[in-house]
Amino acid sequence: MKKPKRLSVAELFEDRREELKLGVIAGKQGMEKSFISSIDIHRPGLALAGFISEFPADRLQVLGGTEMAFLETFDHEARRLAIKRVVELAPPCFVITNDADAPAELVEELDEAGIPLLVSRLPGAGFIHLVSDYLELRLAPETHMHGTLVDVYGIGLLLVGASGIGKSETALDLVERGHRLVADDLIRIRRQRTILLGEGAEQRPAFQHHVEIRGLGIINLYSIFGIRSIRLQKRIEVVVELKRWEKGMVVDRLGLERKARRILGVSIPLITIPVLPGRNLAMICEVIAMNHLVVLRGYHPMQLFDRELKKLLLQKAKVAKEIEEDVE
């Protein structure tokens, strides 16, 4: 099982020092050893008040105006006790917002524990908004899938199927029709909330946007079709499974059967396309994308067709019954 991702406080500080307007107050020796493993932020007001049950010790702890004002209500000993109680839970880092002064007891306890204490000149809400976006980018769950990701009419289609089924050739045909390739062969997929973002898994930009065409070799779509033929990442909205046609294969003829594939816990519509000699897979992919667009606008052509057909059959049955009962 893949280990959860984590981020050291030192990485956070180096990557976003300017944007988050950060400085270090205490616990500098622990910045390389302290790790954040949750994209969520916690404000430890209740913990400072004494309620430490279910304390999320894996989160970044933000001390805003409310928390700082609350600490000011304590005398020296009570404040130290409240801070010590939270520090003993060993969260990865504390951040004071709005460039507020840190209580001496907080600095001493965190220095002793080796837990970083940072300060930001940003107001609390602004800091939380920016740091949440960053943590979501760095700690988002991810996986890798074999396939081809293309942007067709603004819809991200993830083409999957057995090796040699024609995914790359279909992508090449789509690019020639004016659509864009995101990645071929190995797709890196990240989850952000309920959205899946796909991109190439290549380690270097020089390896991006290459496609293997059997019999021809590896080609670079950017060098052939130009900048309009590629994009770096795209939201995955439909999974298109290319499956070799076999006699007796059961396929959906009406489009009423709604299938889905779960990737990183997110359900994505799945459409299975039988592959036969002579089928125009690129055109079918275009129709899949356009149909998805009209469904997003609330229009379901398959459901409407089915409803009208049933209505027509009921009307015919009613007319037949009236003729049957007419004995004159």
Catalytic residues: 146, 167, 185, 253
CA angle 281, 287, 288 (to 5 degrees): 85
Q: How many alpha carbons fall within 13 Å on the CB side of residue 193?
A: 4
Spell 34-47 as b/e; 16+ CB within 10 A means b.
bbbebbebbbbeeb
Can you list the positions of beta strands (E) in 98-141?
A: 117-120
Cα maximum dimension of the chain? 105
CA-CA distance, 144 to 198, in Å (whole number)? Answer: 9
Question: Do 115 and 27 contact (CB within 8 A), yes or no?
Answer: yes
CA-CA distance, 14 to 132, in Å (whole number)? Answer: 16
Residue written as token pair 């907080």 = 106
